């Protein structure tokens, strides 16, 4: 293990030292040659697959593994591990010296992001296309093991052609070793994958097991099998981009949580994102210096909910208004847009935001939005991040597509996630909270700590029209009955008189109230019954 400054080639300190050593050559030949070999190996490790391959990497619009780490981590903070590790394959000519690269096809170690500890690995596409050898996997496993012992997040920068085919089962074993650690680390330390090149075949399951998968637009791909295999098996013509590009995974499949413009953009955003996360499940949600007054009123919220309950508005307007500095790191902004999830701060403290989005599909819950919400809620709960839920939900989306797709099973995930969560849970009903969806959305009944209703809230089994058609089926005076139903239920009182909401608040005071509650709830302790693990309806 050695402290090294990334990217400084040649390493100035090392050169001077080797000069001194050269002068001493006549005294101890063997010692000198070791020193020289150390310097040589280090130099080789720092250049990876060589200048030609580096140039090719740049030409693809991609940075090298080391350049990426340099951008991701604080200056001079990277501590590299296993620079001397080489692959151990002796078949197909791999044993030849020119086929050995010190450090092999991955750079690993630990460093700091804004001063906070993080373990990292960065796959080096210039060495055997970043393919995963036994040694490569072993290096990743080493830092993951240590990250779990220390309690610090793991960030993987993926850029790999896949398994090292020459190594056969050794490579497969390597993947499995990583998968196992991904699973063991899950819920212990945050794990983030940033896909910065190809990631195909079995390799995709490591990012899939981590908490967040981000992609770089146009230069990264994730798929089980590439377009050629797809063509031969299913006779489909599809491009790499269509099959597994950033757009596909952030809008259609929901595999990736966000995509960024290019390597630099992605790494700078990742630094920003890292600041929201605690180091491990033993740490509280981080609190940073906040310039936004915690008791700031948000006058715009008093008029945001339209009078007609069928008219849409943008839930993000509410979310932005309430948060510190309007800063919201949205997760999956282009997938299942009828629910909004993401990270933000309230009075400097990280919070998770969940909100129905009336602007898209009326903010209903469907299969995709339930799964999106559920996974986010579980992450927050695992890592001590309080959850703030904004509710305006007309119900679950009806229809055969949803029923056949298993909305019952998938909707249950969100219900399950909110119910099992023991972190502080604050809920604000802005307008509709109808039917089963009301129960699901972090209701009082699922151990919501503080549940608020705005004056525009309507907590009911369903909308007035539908309710009246059932209650007064076949009767005349439907309009009158509807008015009566509206009078009775289309307001926050039925829930408030029963204590299902703790207070009816002026919308403009929402930020102030939440900041105050978060302070009180910071010491919340709640445990679920002992179990080996729960059985979420997957």
Residues in region 53-82 near other proteins by CB under 8 A: 58, 61-63, 67, 70-71, 74-77
Catalytic-residue membership of 201: yes
Closer to other proteins by Cβ: residue 141 or 290? 290
How near is the Cβ of 421 to other proteins at its closest, in Å? 22
Does position 455 interact with other proteins (CB under 8 A)? The reply is: no
The tokens describing 97, both together, are 């010296």
Closer to other proteins by Cβ: residue 301 or 440? 301
Number of residues lying near other proteins (CB under 8 A)? 75
Among the listed residues 36, 86, 283, 439, the single contact to other proteins using CB under 8 A: 283
Does position 151 interact with other proteins (CB under 8 A)? The reply is: yes
- Would residue 161 be called left, alpha or beta, if left means φ above 0 and alpha means ψ between -120 and 50 degrees? alpha
Backbone angles phi, psi at 440, to 5 degrees: -65, -45
Closer to other proteins by Cβ: residue 304 or 501? 304
Does position 279 interact with other proteins (CB under 8 A)? The reply is: yes
Distance CA 501, CA 159 (A): 49
Closer to other proteins by Cβ: residue 304 or 377? 304
The tokens describing 505, both together, are 């608040």
In terms of C-beta density within 10 A (0-12 exposed, 13-18 middle, 19 or more buried), how is residue 532 classed? exposed
In the region spanning residues 389 to 428, those forming contacts with other proteins, defined by CB under 8 A, are 394, 397
The CA-based angle 121-127-129, given to 5 degrees, is 90
Reading across the β-sheet that carries 191-195, which strands appear in turn? Answer: 2-3, 79-81, 106-113, 116-123, 154-158, 191-195, 212-216, 258-260
Beta bridge partners of 355: 340, 390
In the region spanning residues 154 to 213, those forming contacts with other proteins, defined by CB under 8 A, are none
Stretch that binds other proteins, among 169-177, 311-319, 409-417, 488-496 (CB under 8 A): 311-319
Stretch that binds other proteins, among 36-44, 204-212, 286-294, 530-538 (CB under 8 A): 286-294
CA nearest 123: which of 100, 98, 104? 104
Does position 312 interact with other proteins (CB under 8 A)? The reply is: yes
Does position 116 interact with other proteins (CB under 8 A)? The reply is: yes
In the region spanning residues 333 to 372, those forming contacts with other proteins, defined by CB under 8 A, are 348, 358-362, 364
The CA-based angle 334-338-341, given to 5 degrees, is 65
How near is the Cβ of 293 to other proteins at its closest, in Å? 8
Residue reference for tokens 């000069």: 19
248-250-254-256 Cα dihedral, nearest 10 degrees: 110
Buried b / exposed e along 260-271 (16+ C-beta atoms within 10 A) = beebeebbebbb
Closer to other proteins by Cβ: residue 343 or 416? 343
Distance CA 93, CA 105 (A): 17
The answer to whether the CB of 69 falls within 8 A of the CB of 103 is: no
How near is the Cβ of 286 to other proteins at its closest, in Å? 6
Distance CA 285, CA 282 (A): 10
Among the listed residues 265, 295, 403, 519, the single contact to other proteins using CB under 8 A: 265
The CA-based angle 16-17-21, given to 5 degrees, is 120
7, 151, 202, 254: the active-site residue: 202
Closer to other proteins by Cβ: residue 85 or 464? 464
Catalytic-residue membership of 435: no
Does position 463 interact with other proteins (CB under 8 A)? The reply is: yes
Does position 301 interact with other proteins (CB under 8 A)? The reply is: yes
How near is the Cβ of 318 to other proteins at its closest, in Å? 10
Closer to other proteins by Cβ: residue 178 or 279? 279
How near is the Cβ of 362 to other proteins at its closest, in Å? 4
Among the listed residues 263, 381, 458, 482, the single contact to other proteins using CB under 8 A: 263
Closer to other proteins by Cβ: residue 208 or 264? 264
Does position 304 interact with other proteins (CB under 8 A)? The reply is: yes
Catalytic residue set: 201-202, 436-437
């Amino acid at each position: 293990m050695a402290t090294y400054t990334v990217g400084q080639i040649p390493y100035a300190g090392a050169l001077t030292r080797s000069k001194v050593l050269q002068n001493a050559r006549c005294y101890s030949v063997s010692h000198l040659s070791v020193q020289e070999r150390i310097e040589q190996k280090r130099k080789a490790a720092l250049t990876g697959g060589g200048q030609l391959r580096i140039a090719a990497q740049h030409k693809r619009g991609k940075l090298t593994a080391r350049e990426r780490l340099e951008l991701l981590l604080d200056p001079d903070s990277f501590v590299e591990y296993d620079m001397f590790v080489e692959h151990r394959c002796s078949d197909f000519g791999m044993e030849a010296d020119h086929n050995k690269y010190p450090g092999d096809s991955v750079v690993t170690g630990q460093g700091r992001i804004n001063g906070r500890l993080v373990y990292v690995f960065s796959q080096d596409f210039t060495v055997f296309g970043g393919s995963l050898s036994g040694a490569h996997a072993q290096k990743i496993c080493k830092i993951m093991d240590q990250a779990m012992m220390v309690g610090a997040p793991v960030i993987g920068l993926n850029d790999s052609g896949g398994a090292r085919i020459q190594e056969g089962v050794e490579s497969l074993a390597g993947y499995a070793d990583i998968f196992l650690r991904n699973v063991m680390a899950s819920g212990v330390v945050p794990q983030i994958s940033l896909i910065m090149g190809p990631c195909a075949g079995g390799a995709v399951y490591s990012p899939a097991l981590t908490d967040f998968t981000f992609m770089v637009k146009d230069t990264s791909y994730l798929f089980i099998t590439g377009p050629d295999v797809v063509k031969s098996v299913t006779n489909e013509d599809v491009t790499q981009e269509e099959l597994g590009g950033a757009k596909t995974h952030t809008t259609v499949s929901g595999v990736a949580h966000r995509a960024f413009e290019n390597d630099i953009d992605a790494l700078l955003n990742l630094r920003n994102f890292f600041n929201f996360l605690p180091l491990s499940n033993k740490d509280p949600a981080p609190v940073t210096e906040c310039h936004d007054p915690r008791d700031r009123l948000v006058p715009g919220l008093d008029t945001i909910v339209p009078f007609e309950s069928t008219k849409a508005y943008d839930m993000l307007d509410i979310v932005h208004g309430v948060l510190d500095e309007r800063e919201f790191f949205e997760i999956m902004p282009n997938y299942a847009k009828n629910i909004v999830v993401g990270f933000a701060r309230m009075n400097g403290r990280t919070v998770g935001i969940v909100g129905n989005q009336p602007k898209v599909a009326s903010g209903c819950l469907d299969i995709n939005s339930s799964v999106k919400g559920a996974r986010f809620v579980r992450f927050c709960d695992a890592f001590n991040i309080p959850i703030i839920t904004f509710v305006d939900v007309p119900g679950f989306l009806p229809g055969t597509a949803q029923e056949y797709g298993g909305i019952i099973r998938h909707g249950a995930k969100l219900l399950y996630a909110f119910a099992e969560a023991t972190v502080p849970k604050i809920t604000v009903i802005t307008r509709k909270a109808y039917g089963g969806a009301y129960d699901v959305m972090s209701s009082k009944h699922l151990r919501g700590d503080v549940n608020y209703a705005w004056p525009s809230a309507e907590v009911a089994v369903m909308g007035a029209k539908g309710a009246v058609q059932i209650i007064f089926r076949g009767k005349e005076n439907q309009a009158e009955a509807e008015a009566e139903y509206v009078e009775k239920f289309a307001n926050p009182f039925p829930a408030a008189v029963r204590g299902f909401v703790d207070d009816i608040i002026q919308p403009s005071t929402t930020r102030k109230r939440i900041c105050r509650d978060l302070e009180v709830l910071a010491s919340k302790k709640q445990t679920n019954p002992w179990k080996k693990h729960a059985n979420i309806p997957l």
